[in-house]
């Protein structure tokens, strides 16, 4: 990669939630290797400890990588996290709200699971933005907030309604956030806090075995940095099975359900799926 986004530079600071595993950890390792200070945020436990050790090895100086255990759904913990991260590493140039829970399967899931999923996947992001954005804006310069969404929050495939719902809400929130930041900055806003929606494809993360067709987290991080450098808001990643053209067709088809007065999720409807497939 030749061009990096302005917020990514040696000595700059990144705060990444869900950084103990998967895409968050890969981003942390990449940014530490580029000479950034990185604050790893995750639930306390062995995964976070291991990530601190691994990402610390990529760092260019001692003390550049710290781990702050926190539950992103807890307002007091997120507020304490912001104080600690800014105190130890400075105001972030990049805030990556990436933590996720996949708790709760199906419409019959316990209501507490529906609420927990919204608390982590949506309000965890809202809390992160509220805790860090004022300092990021006050510090000035080019800074960025990346919220990790999902194709499931855009094209809405059946099977995991709770997750889809949280990611659809996150997409709406992030779109509105970027509009607000852009509007506040006005025409003089080339140097400001920008928001971006990262939408990974199928990526091997957590403790899942790697399967043919999936991407690895490093590939997602590469696309993220390239597309941020280009100034893109929607950063939709393909994978080994789904091309960008297929994603575009699926997104347009989902929007077409409304304007063509089809039933929702018509891609999976017996009267319509053949037309989509063709
Ligand atoms: N892996 C994929 O195929 C894929 C596809 C589309 C979108 N995404 C999105 O990418 C992001 C990263 O996903 P991943 O697959 O790398 O995840 P992962 O499961 O590998 O890691 C998620 C991390 O979030 C942490 N976490 C969970 N609840 C938390 C909380 N309350 N507070 C703090 N940390 C918490 C977990 O402990 C874990 O370390 C997520 O937002 C996910 O929705 C992933």
Question: 177 CA to middle of ligand 1, Å?
Answer: 21
Three-state DSSP at 243 gives coil
101 lines ligand 1 (CB under 6 A): yes
**Pairwise CA distance, residues 136 & 127, whole Å:** 14
List alpha helices for the chain, DSSP H: 22-33, 46-58, 75-89, 111-118, 124-139, 161-185, 217-229, 244-259, 273-277
Quick one: which atom of ligand 1 is closest to the CA of 26?
16
pLDDT attached to residue 255: 98
Residue 42 near ligand 1, beta carbon < 6 Å: yes
Sign of torsion, CA 121 122 123 129? positive
Q: How far apart are CA 89 and CA 70, in angstroms?
A: 17
Query: Taking the model in full, what pTM does it have?
Result: 0.98
Closest ligand 1 atom number to CA of residue 23: 16
Measured in Å, residue 57 CA sits from the centre of ligand 1 at 22
Assign 3-state DSSP to the chain and report helix, strand, coil percentages, each to 5.
50, 15, 35
Name which of 54, 72, 60, 76 is nearest 11 in CA terms. 60
Q: What is the structure's pLDDT at 1? A: 58
Q: Would you write out the chain's pLDDT as a tens digit for each of its 278 residues?
A: 569 999 999 999 999 999 999 999 999 999 999 999 999 999 999 999 999 999 999 999 999 999 999 999 999 999 999 999 999 999 999 999 999 999 998 999 999 999 999 999 999 999 999 999 999 999 999 999 999 999 999 999 999 999 999 999 999 999 999 999 999 997 655 689 999 999 999 999 988 999 999 999 999 999 999 999 999 999 999 999 999 999 999 999 999 999 999 999 999 999 999 999 99
The predicted structure's pLDDT at residue 109: 98
Kindly list the catalytic residues: 163
Q: What local confidence, expressed as pLDDT, does residue 188 receive?
A: 58
User: Nearest-5° angle of CA 79, CA 117, CA 52?
Assistant: 55
What's CA 136's distance to the chain center, in Å? Answer: 18
Query: What confidence score (pLDDT) does residue 186 get?
Result: 79
Nearest atom, ligand 1, residue 204 CA: 1
14 lines ligand 1 (CB under 6 A): no
Token couple for 231 = 């100034």
Residue 115's nearest CA partner among 169, 173, 177, 174 is 169
Top CATH class of 13-242 equals: alpha beta
* Domain positions in the chain: 13-242, 243-278
């Amino acid at each position: 990669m030749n061009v990096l986004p302005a917020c990514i530079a040696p000595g700059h600071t990144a705060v990444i939630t869900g950084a103990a595993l998967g895409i968050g950890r890969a981003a942390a390792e990449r940014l530490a290797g580029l000479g950034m200070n990185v604050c790893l945020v995750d639930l306390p436990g062995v995964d976070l400890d291991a990530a601190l050790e691994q990402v610390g090895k990529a760092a260019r100086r001692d003390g550049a990588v710290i781990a702050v255990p926190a539950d992103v759904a807890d307002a007091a913990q997120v507020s304490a996290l912001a104080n600690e991260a800014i105190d130890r590493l400075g105001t972030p140039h990049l805030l990556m709200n990436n933590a996720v829970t996949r708790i709760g399967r199906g419409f019959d899931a316990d209501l507490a699971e529906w609420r927990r999923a919204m608390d982590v996947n949506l309000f965890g992001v809202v809390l992160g933005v509220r805790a860090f954005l004022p300092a990021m804006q006050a510090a000035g310069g080019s800074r960025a907030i990346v919220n990790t969404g999902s194709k499931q929050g855009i094209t809405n495939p059946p099977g995991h309604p709770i997750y889809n719902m949280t990611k659809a809400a996150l997409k709406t929130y992030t779109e509105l956030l970027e509009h607000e930041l852009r509007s506040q900055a006005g025409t003089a806003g080339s140097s400001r806090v920008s928001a971006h929606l990262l939408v990974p494809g199928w990526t091997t993360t957590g403790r899942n075995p790697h399967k043919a067709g999936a991407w690895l987290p490093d590939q997602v991080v590469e696309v993220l940095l390239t597309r941020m450098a280009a100034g893109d808001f929607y950063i939709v990643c393909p994978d080994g099975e789904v091309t960008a053209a297929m994603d575009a067709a699926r997104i347009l088809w989902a929007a077409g359900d409304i304007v063509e007065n089809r039933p929702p999720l018509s891609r999976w409807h017996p009267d319509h799926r053949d037309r989509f497939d063709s």
